[in-house]
Amino acid sequence: MNAGVSEIAPASAPAHPQRTVWLLFAPLGLLVGTRWVLQWMADRATGAPALPLQPFAGTQDPTGWLVTLGGWLVALACAALLAALAWRRYGGAPVRRVLLLAWAALCVAGAAGLLWRHVNEQGLQPQPPMVAEVLGSRFQKPTSHGAGGTLVVLRVPGADAARQVLIDDPAAAQWKPGQRLQLQWATGRTSGQFVTGWQAMAPGQP
Confidence of residue 109 (pLDDT cuts 50, 70, 90): very high
In this predicted structure, the answer to whether residue 188 has a pLDDT above a threshold of 80 is yes
Question: 163-167 and 51-52 as β-strands: parallel, antiparallel, unpaired?
Answer: unpaired
Which pLDDT value is given to residue 47? 67
Q: Which tops the pLDDT comparison, 124 or 71? A: 124
State residue 39's pLDDT score. 85
End-to-end CA distance of the chain: 95
Provide the b/e sequence for 173-197 (b: ≥16 CB within 10 Å): eebeeebbbebbbbbbeeebbbbbe
Report the chain's mean pLDDT, rounded to a whole number: 82
Residue 21 confidence (pLDDT): 79
The values of phi and psi at residue 31, to 5°, are -65, -50
Q: What is the pLDDT of residues 125-156, one digit of tens each?
A: 999 999 999 999 888 887 766 677 889 999 99
* pLDDT band of 105, cuts 50, 70, 90: very high
Greatest mean pLDDT among 10-24, 61-75, 161-175 lies in: 161-175
Predicted confidence (pLDDT) at residue 112 exceeds the cutoff of 90: yes
- Amino acid identity of residue 61, one-letter, is D
Helices (H), the chain: 2-12, 15-43, 64-90, 92-122
Return d(Cα 90, Cα 99) in angstroms, integer.
14
Mean pLDDT to the nearest integer, 179-201: 91
β 54-55/193-200 pair status: unpaired
Of these ranges, 8-12, 74-78, 202-206, the one predicted with the greatest mean pLDDT is 74-78
Within 13 A of 25's CA, how many CA atoms are on the CB side?
A: 6
How many angstroms separate the Cα of 115 from the Cα of each of 20, 21, 122, 144? 26, 25, 11, 19
pLDDT category, 165, cuts 50, 70, 90? very high
Q: How many CA atoms lie within 13 A of 41 on its CB side?
A: 12
**Domain spans in the chain, listed from the N-terminal domain onward:** 2-48+63-122, 125-200
pTM of the model: 0.69
